[in-house]
Structure 1
Amino acid sequence: MRLAGFATPKRPARRMLSTWLRSLSQVPLWAWFASFAGATILGLSFAFVVLYTIFAPNIAPGTDIWAINKTTSVSIADKDGKVFANRGAAFGNRVHIRDMPKYLPAAFLVVEDRRFYDHWGIDLRGLMRAAISNVEAGNVVAGGSTITQQLAKNVFLKPERTFSRKFEELFIAFWLERHYSKDDILSYYLNRIYLGSGAYGVDAASRQYFGKPVKDVTVAEAAMLAALTRAPSLYSPETDYEKAKTRANLVLDLMVEDEIITPEQAKKAKANPPKLVVSEDIDSEGYFADFTIDQLNKLGLTGKNDVIVRTTIDRKLQREAQRAVTTFLNKEGSRRKVSQGALVAMEPDGTVRAIVGGRSYNESSFNRAFQAQRQPGSAFKPFVYLTALERGISPEDYREDEPYEDNGWSPNNYDNDYRGPVTVREALARSLNTVAVRLADEVGRNAVIRIAQRLGIDSALEPNRSLPLGTSEVNLLELTGAYASFANGGYLAEPYCIIDVKLSDGTVLYQRQEQTRKRVMSSAQDQDMNRMLFDAVQTGTGKNADMGERPVAGKTGTTQDYRDAWFVGFSADYVAGVWFGNDDNSPTRRVVGGGLPASVWKSFMRQAHKGLPLRPLPGVDLYAQPDPGYYLEQPAAPPPYAPPPPRLPPPPDTPGLLERSVEELFGSGDWPDEDRRPPPRDGPYRQPEPEDNTGLY
């Protein structure tokens, strides 16, 4: 009976399904396994192709991968081309294994990948060992990587230990093995591997440790290099030579086991271990190197290429500058409550020869020579006096040294004493604060700022009442550069340290050209300033910097509460600036510019001038007639110059001090009397807020 609206099943279709199921039950079991295996292989093959396509590097096969993702290197050299510092990764020359001693790549193979020439990018046995270790540890502790995998990691991947990165590493290794020969892969690896002490590649490491190119390494040296692969910092011969030698001996044993060398060769190598090259590095050269990088950035020459920068550093002067600063800090820093110092030395044209930016570069790379902004105190006063000269004021004109009040603010002299009428020359030599403030008010503080900027001060200067006393912050480098204009006859001296910049193949990217001289003061004004600053050293606050027959000039600077102490001075050959203080701006124990900084300055300058003939300063010991070539378009006519009056008697607050070296001062513990005087009862200054930071001398 058929119901309306319902279809009855078709019996033939049901019978066909039943027949098909009965036929499947009769298929042998092996056929089932074969079908499953085939499907699995097909699926895995498809997955491999997909993953290989995903992870393969997006570069053309056969591309030179030497420079891919390679950290750029800046090699910093002296004027003779001798490299003294590296920034970035230090890579040596690129060397193919055919140009290396055969035992060197073999040494790396016995340590890292004995089956390198037998596998196709991965070593299954090594992976199994690594997998067991990782499972037991619960995280990734072993890689089991082949040299091909390590190259993949070094060139294309980030240095992280994760399962996903390991997975990616495998497929890149397959890609490398498919497109590059074994010898090429090994050569790339040996030129990119990190081997400690900042050296990447066997050639850089060979030069770093043994002072020779990789083609000249001995069996013992090759073994020591190969021993560094597992832990470059731990096994570096510069860190622990005995540990490095022990590891190298193990490598020699493995080389004998693989018949790379004979037992006799190994015995000879163990009896004659590698000799490390004696490093001539000077700790403070790092400060000069960092300054070089700063200047390189300003030239826009940092980029994707390795460069060699030839600089103006004088390594002898750099060493003497470091010695002068650290001798004081090591012997007297704790007692005088001063923890840091800096020194800059340059030639009068701005050629920087030495930079010490702190007590120790290894302890602190902060460069206090050009990165620290500090109040210069009375070391700023020469800009006030130069402005006065340009306004027609003569060094022999008189100004009153007496209490001076400006809207409730009154600058005091250091000793709280007043001398009545004094010449402008005497006021600068004695560093009288009242006269400096009077002159600044007379000529205009904005005019003083323009003069300072004209001589090379780039830091922001505030035209407040205490400006002439050095309360606007500057850095030691720019202040020293500004003083160089006095030493060179009145021309702008822009400090520089880069001679040229080249690529490793010799291509010149930058060559410093001879600069057009720009006059920033007249010859007459320069001579007047030099005579006044010469008097400041002969009879004023800078007596400790006097160098006897060699004429030198300069100015001291000390800030409120003895937080900063400066001396900046010059001869006809060198300009140098010295600063001492604390990074946290805490007070020192009455360290003033005319005491320790002036003595350290003289100690350095004595060494810098060894073998140099005596030369006069412009206007000192060479009383030439003033030159009419003024810098300003409509200058005031300078008054006729008269020969200097007899030397001023020593100020009553700073009795004469025999010329002594830093070592003599340190040895005797005899410090200048100006350092021993207790500060005035009310402090060096009385100044209301907000202008409460006024410089001393």
Structure 2
Amino acid sequence: MAGSRRGSRSSKKTADRKDKNSLLGRWLRRLIVAGVVVGLLGALALGTAVYFAERSLPSYSALMNSENGQTIVMRARDGTEIVSLGPSYGEWLYSDEIPQVMKDAMVSVEDRRFYSHIGVDPLGLLRAVWVAVRDDQRAEATSTITQQLARNIFLNSNRTMDRKLREAVLAMALEWKFSKDQILELYLNKVYFGGGAYGIDSASRKFFSHSARQLSTGEAAIIAGLVKAPSRYAPSADVNAAVARANVVLSQMRKYGALRADEAASVDVSAVKLKKESGGNSIRYFTDWALPQLDTLLADSDSREPIQVWTTIDIAKQKSATAAIKANAPKGAQGALVSLDRDGAVLAMVGGTDYVESNYNRAVSAVRQPGSAWKLFVYLAALEAGYTPDDRVVDEPTTIGNWSPHNSGGSYAGEIDVRSAFAYSKNTVAAQLGNDVGFGTVASMARRMGITTPISTYPSMVLGTSEVRVIDMARAFGEISAGGESVEPYGITKVETAKGRVLYRREPQRGHQLVPDYVAAGITDLLQTAVATGTGRAAQIGRPVAGKTGTTNSSKDGWFVGFSSGITTAVWMGRDDAKPVAGLYGGTAPARAFASYMRYAVKDRPVEQFDTDLQLPQWQLEPDDEYFYGDPNDYYFIDEQGNLVEPSGGADNGTKSPFPPERQEQSPADQPRRPSRDNETDDSAPSAASDDFLERAIGGSLENGSTRSNRPQQRSPSSESEMDTGRSWRSNPPEGIIERPD
């Protein structure tokens, strides 16, 4: 019986397994059938799409005569044509005229299975997916030569799935209609190689001064290497990058059999003679910056007709800016300049000392440390927190955490006012102010004023350790020139078609207040003092100038940024490799270049005086700054013990105080808000009268009596002699203030 039951259970398990296997088999067969059906339907749909696409393709002769690209004429603010950009075509070379080495180089680096695929490369796609899965990264697009041709002739470069599908269909249609030799001929005569050059003959004439029929192996490798990134690998822009990319092409040719190892080894790409560019000038730094903006400004336009672009550039000012940078940049150093009109219009832009030698735009692309020019944001934050230019500070050795800043020259001036601390670029005072208002507050101020690069909040940030762009610094100072209103640099005012149809017109922009007007007036006060008597004296031009110098450690960077008569200009100088430049200070070469350019830039503009009148808000007016209007009998008086005497009455003993009227007293709840500084605390009770007044009243010192703040009290001159002394002191700094370029 037991054996029978075991046999029965065994039979049942076997039957169950058979049923499960049968069920899995049925589902597997269904999936296979469904997959085959879907595949057949997909293939049918794809075949139908390719068929109709092939029927709609232009003839080969029509494709030969079609042109890519768009002609763009850029004009200066006065309408003068400054540059004409657009497609440049050489001779059409038929397949048998194109050197075989050129064909091999292009196929090896762009599409090694070109002669075996059907327009798309399934193996290449599967390999890209496998690499993405293996390396846990996004799959890189793989476009065959035929796909690139389809995209260049019929489509745009949008990275969308729809565009990729249409590209694949058109590529297969091209393969269906034309031979491989015809497709490669079309591609080599139409692909873009940068600088407006379309086709290998145009590229050969541009870079090597001869027809593509005479291309050597090294030259062919350089041209083939351009397709991936024309602007990056162009030999006219970066010879080293072009040579490195060409060597990659030669390596691919050797790998896939287009060159023998000894042939590849014998090619010295660095020895290829390049055509010397002529007619290049610094205005191309501006056009290189402005042109990409058309993609945004004309995003809704799909017109391919020629266009004219009106810009803000002033040709005469551009020439003056170029000459100023070339004449003043130290030997071996580069220079950059950005000049803005009061509304943000770019009047001049210099991105380097020689555009032909290097088209890298240091005015908008390079990020460098601004040194003391960064103190603009430190003092802006301090002024907004309640400081004024006349407040007293102490220039003395300072330690914040583990950081101890030092002044240039190692000297300390002792007690000075905020204005002089800024003018003579005192690092210790900047550190104290940054610590007082908060380093995060300084960073927020810089961001508010338009600094787009990362900003550190370490204490040393007050000395300009965070890297910035020249155009961003010009913008920030331009916003001070505008009274604290936002300024957006721009270079294009209007775009029209050749027939006069307006595609874009810039409308006047409404600025918004970034800092209160009294803060803008206060910082302008400091900035003009820095030029009048401080580190920026070399920037004087015979009319009011406000600005700030900047120098980094070991003189690696020198800056001067300032404004006058509504024009703001930022100048930077230094080496691209960030090595020290002997004798470079912000107050030397950069300030001289600024003055040289600005004398010309503002010559036809009326002289404008700066508004430095501090109309402080009510909360910032201290009691001793308020003036009580009314009956003199209503004044409050103080007796010898510092007690209040009621208006029109006597003290406790009934005698009237002999002392002159002083400030109107307020209760603690009514006291205006002031920033906490040094040993002062927000919850300390206000004194009945200022220490200065009490000392004058009792004819003695309170040092052994009442507790005083470590921060010296601000006091206006009480006599003409004091006022004269103050003016003389600013013109002739006291001992301890060492005058240096920065």
Shorter-chain TM-score range: 0.5 to 0.7
Q: Secondary structure at the match of 1:462?
A: coil
Pair 384,625 (structure 1): closer, same or farther in 2 beyond 3 Å:
closer
> Which residue in the other structure is 1:89 paired with?
87
> Which residue in the other structure is 1:284 paired with?
282
Shift of the alpha carbon at 1:297? 4.3
Instruction: Give me the whole-angstrom Cα distance separating, in 2, the residues matched to 1:157 and 1:468.
Output: 51
Where in structure 2 are there 5+ consecutive unaligned residues? 1-50, 105-145, 154-175, 203-209, 220-276, 621-671, 676-713, 718-722
2:514 to 501, 517, 520: 520
> Which residue in the other structure is 2:640 paired with?
none
> Which residue in the other structure is 2:271 paired with?
none
Instruction: Give me the whole-angstrom Cα distance separating, in 2, the residues matched to 1:171 and 1:534.
Output: 66
Letter in 2 for 1:609: V
Letter in 2 for 1:587: P
> Which residue in the other structure is 2:328 paired with?
328
Instruction: Give me the whole-angstrom Cα distance separating, in 2, the residues matched to 1:166 and 1:64.
Output: 13
Kindly indicate whether the alpha-carbon contact (under 8 Å) linking 2:530 and 2:548 is maintained by their aligned counterparts in 1: yes
Q: Could you report, residue by residue, the CA deviation over 1:124-174 in whole angstroms, capped at 9, with x for unpaired residues? A: xxx9xx69x999x9999xxxxxxxxxxx9x998999xxxx9995566999x
Alignment pair present for 1:407 and 2:401: yes
Q: Secondary structure at the match of 1:499?
A: strand
Instruction: Give me the whole-angstrom Cα distance separating, in 1, the residues matched to 2:287 and 2:348.
Output: 11
Shift of the alpha carbon at 1:422? 1.0
> Which residue in the other structure is 1:553 paired with?
546
Q: Secondary structure at the match of 1:341?
A: strand
> Which residue in the other structure is 1:541 paired with?
535
Alignment pair present for 1:375 and 2:375: no
Shift of the alpha carbon at 1:612? 2.4
Kindly indicate whether the alpha-carbon contact (under 8 Å) linking 2:413 and 2:737 is maintained by their aligned counterparts in 1: no
Alignment pair present for 1:649 and 2:731: yes
Kindly indicate whether the alpha-carbon contact (under 8 Å) linking 2:424 and 2:737 is maintained by their aligned counterparts in 1: no
> Which residue in the other structure is 1:591 paired with?
584
Kindly indicate whether the alpha-carbon contact (under 8 Å) linking 1:540 and 1:651 is maintained by their aligned counterparts in 2: no
Q: Could you report, residue by residue, the CA deviation over 1:245-300 in whole angstroms, capped at 9, with x for unpaired residues? A: xxxxxxxxxxxxxxxxxxxxxxxxxxxxxxxxxx9966101100111034334546
Q: Secondary structure at the match of 1:287?
A: helix
1:530 to 517, 524, 527: 524
Alignment pair present for 1:626 and 2:624: no
Q: Secondary structure at the match of 2:486?
A: coil
Q: Could you report, residue by residue, the CA deviation over 1:580-624 in whole angstroms, capped at 9, with x for unpaired residues? A: 0111111111300011110110001011122322121222xxxx5
- Identity score, percent: 34
Q: Could you report, residue by residue, the CA deviation over 1:197-221 in whole angstroms, capped at 9, with x for unpaired residues? A: 95889xx9xxxxxxxxxxxxxxxxx
Q: Could you report, residue by residue, the CA deviation over 1:645-680 in whole angstroms, capped at 9, with x for unpaired residues? A: 516135589999xxxxxxxxxxxxxxxx947xxxxx
Following superposition of structure 1 onto structure 2, how do residues 181-330 of structure 1 map, counting pairs within 5 Å? 198=196, 283-297=281-295, 299=297, 301=299, 305-306=303-304, 307-329=307-329
Letter in 1 for 2:316: K
Instruction: Give me the whole-angstrom Cα distance separating, in 1, the residues matched to 2:389 and 2:379.
Output: 9
Kindly indicate whether the alpha-carbon contact (under 8 Å) linking 1:78 and 1:313 is maintained by their aligned counterparts in 2: yes
> Which residue in the other structure is 2:478 paired with?
484
Instruction: Give me the whole-angstrom Cα distance separating, in 1, the residues matched to 2:102 and 2:716.
Output: 88
Letter in 2 for 1:536: A
Letter in 1 for 2:607: L
Pair 167,593 (structure 1): closer, same or farther in 2 beyond 3 Å:
same
Q: Secondary structure at the match of 2:359?
A: coil
> Which residue in the other structure is 1:345 paired with?
339
Alignment pair present for 1:496 and 2:490: yes
Pair 199,463 (structure 1): closer, same or farther in 2 beyond 3 Å:
closer
Instruction: Give me the whole-angstrom Cα distance separating, in 2, the residues matched to 1:301 and 1:654.
Output: 59
Kindly indicate whether the alpha-carbon contact (under 8 Å) linking 2:152 and 2:191 is maintained by their aligned counterparts in 1: no
Kindly indicate whether the alpha-carbon contact (under 8 Å) linking 1:381 and 1:470 is maintained by their aligned counterparts in 2: yes
Q: Secondary structure at the match of 1:584?
A: coil
Instruction: Give me the whole-angstrom Cα distance separating, in 2, the residues matched to 1:653 and 1:409.
Output: 26
Pair 156,78 (structure 1): closer, same or farther in 2 beyond 3 Å:
same
Instruction: Give me the whole-angstrom Cα distance separating, in 1, the residues matched to 2:618 and 2:282.
Output: 42
Instruction: Give me the whole-angstrom Cα distance separating, in 2, the residues matched to 1:453 and 1:138.
Output: 51
Pair 471,650 (structure 1): closer, same or farther in 2 beyond 3 Å:
farther
Kindly indicate whether the alpha-carbon contact (under 8 Å) linking 2:448 and 2:514 is maintained by their aligned counterparts in 1: yes
Q: Could you report, residue by residue, the CA deviation over 1:334-388 in whole angstroms, capped at 9, with x for unpaired residues? A: 4xxxx21101111122111111011111111111111011110000101111111
> Which residue in the other structure is 1:78 paired with?
76
Letter in 1 for 2:308: I
Letter in 2 for 1:324: A
Instruction: Give me the whole-angstrom Cα distance separating, in 2, the residues matched to 1:499 and 1:372.
Output: 25
Kindly indicate whether the alpha-carbon contact (under 8 Å) linking 2:312 and 2:492 is maintained by their aligned counterparts in 1: yes
1:467 to 461, 465, 472: 461
Instruction: Give me the whole-angstrom Cα distance separating, in 1, the residues matched to 2:525 and 2:343.
Output: 20
> Which residue in the other structure is 1:613 paired with?
606
> Which residue in the other structure is 2:699 paired with?
none
Alignment pair present for 1:420 and 2:501: no
Pair 490,562 (structure 1): closer, same or farther in 2 beyond 3 Å:
same
Q: Could you report, residue by residue, the CA deviation over 1:528-567 in whole angstroms, capped at 9, with x for unpaired residues? A: 211111110010000101122x100100000011110000
Pair 138,598 (structure 1): closer, same or farther in 2 beyond 3 Å:
closer
Instruction: Give me the whole-angstrom Cα distance separating, in 2, the residues matched to 1:302 and 1:74.
Output: 17
Instruction: Give me the whole-angstrom Cα distance separating, in 2, the residues matched to 1:432 and 1:497.
Output: 37
TM-score normalised by L of structure 2: 0.54
Q: Secondary structure at the match of 1:414?
A: coil
Letter in 2 for 1:582: R
Kindly indicate whether the alpha-carbon contact (under 8 Å) linking 2:352 and 2:361 is maintained by their aligned counterparts in 1: yes
Kindly indicate whether the alpha-carbon contact (under 8 Å) linking 1:401 and 1:420 is maintained by their aligned counterparts in 2: yes
Pair 477,654 (structure 1): closer, same or farther in 2 beyond 3 Å:
farther
Instruction: Give me the whole-angstrom Cα distance separating, in 1, the residues matched to 2:482 and 2:102.
Output: 70
Kindly indicate whether the alpha-carbon contact (under 8 Å) linking 1:296 and 1:302 is maintained by their aligned counterparts in 2: no
> Which residue in the other structure is 2:355 paired with?
361
Kindly indicate whether the alpha-carbon contact (under 8 Å) linking 1:287 and 1:367 is maintained by their aligned counterparts in 2: yes
Q: Secondary structure at the match of 2:83?
A: strand
Pair 427,79 (structure 1): closer, same or farther in 2 beyond 3 Å:
same
Pair 373,298 (structure 1): closer, same or farther in 2 beyond 3 Å:
farther
Q: Could you report, residue by residue, the CA deviation over 1:215-237 in whole angstroms, capped at 9, with x for unpaired residues? A: xxxxxxxxxxxx999899x9xxx
> Which residue in the other structure is 1:564 paired with?
557
Where in structure 1 are there 5+ consecutive unaligned residues? 1-52, 92-107, 114-121, 141-151, 177-189, 205-226, 235-278, 657-672, 676-696
Instruction: Give me the whole-angstrom Cα distance separating, in 1, the residues matched to 2:736 and 2:288.
Output: 39
Shift of the alpha carbon at 1:457? 1.3
Q: Could you report, residue by residue, the CA deviation over 1:630-653 in whole angstroms, capped at 9, with x for unpaired residues? A: 99xxx9689999999516135589
> Which residue in the other structure is 2:439 paired with?
445
Pair 84,590 (structure 1): closer, same or farther in 2 beyond 3 Å:
same
Kindly indicate whether the alpha-carbon contact (under 8 Å) linking 1:381 and 1:469 is maintained by their aligned counterparts in 2: yes
Letter in 1 for 2:516: S
Kindly indicate whether the alpha-carbon contact (under 8 Å) linking 1:522 and 1:628 is maintained by their aligned counterparts in 2: no
- Work out the number of aligned pairs and report it: 465
> Which residue in the other structure is 1:577 paired with?
570
Pair 65,512 (structure 1): closer, same or farther in 2 beyond 3 Å:
farther
Q: Secondary structure at the match of 1:466?
A: helix
Pair 392,652 (structure 1): closer, same or farther in 2 beyond 3 Å:
closer
TM-score normalised by L of structure 1: 0.57
Shift of the alpha carbon at 1:401? 0.7
Following superposition of structure 1 onto structure 2, how do residues 131-146 of structure 1 map, counting pairs within 5 Å? none
Kindly indicate whether structure 1 or structure 2 has the higher relative contact order, using CA contacts under 8 Å at least 6 residues apart.
Answer: 1
Kindly indicate whether the alpha-carbon contact (under 8 Å) linking 1:341 and 1:357 is maintained by their aligned counterparts in 2: yes
Q: Could you report, residue by residue, the CA deviation over 1:54-109 in whole angstroms, capped at 9, with x for unpaired residues? A: 99784367998699561344433223444323455269xxxxxxxxxxxxxxxx9x
Let me know the Cα RMSD of the aligned residues.
Answer: 4.9
Instruction: Give me the whole-angstrom Cα distance separating, in 1, the residues matched to 2:88 and 2:501.
Output: 19
